[in-house]
Amino acid sequence: QVQLAEPGGGSVQSGGSLRLSCAASGIIFSGYAMAWYRQAPAKQRELAASINNDGNTNYVDSVKGRFTISRDKAKNTVYLQMNSLKPEDTAVYYCYAVRIPNRYWGQGTQVTVSS
């Protein structure tokens, strides 16, 4: 059974930092590209950051320079370090694993940034 466990999240003031983690089980982690999506209230889910098997990363423009995605293959875990957080970063953040044709989602974790 595949599971993407996302402890973490929480509330922080504007300018603060949070680190999200996503521990994968039931998959061969090194064979999957990983990503963090987010969905703000009344908005569509969007890709925030992704990392492939070779460690190449990609970010949505609104988080470039503030967020860093990384993966630890020994721990089967992907991280999202979020710095200089803004109220517009408030959203539910979802971990995502993909290796065509397989795609898996975490349950989501709430991040709230207050001004």
In tens, the pLDDT along 13-24 reads: 999 999 999 999
Average pLDDT score over residue span 55-71: 97
In tens, the pLDDT along 14-58 reads: 999 999 999 999 988 888 999 999 999 999 999 999 999 999 999
Strands 18-25 and 46-51: what pairing?
Answer: unpaired
Structural element, H or E, at residue 12: strand 10-13
Residue 42: what pLDDT?
A: 94
Q: Could you give the CA distance from residue 8 to residue 19 in angstroms, rounded to a whole number?
A: 7
In order, the DSSP letters of 75-113 are TTEEEEEE-S--GGG-EEEEEEEEETTEEEE---EEEEE
Q: Could you give the CA distance from residue 13 to residue 29 in angstroms, rounded to a whole number?
A: 33
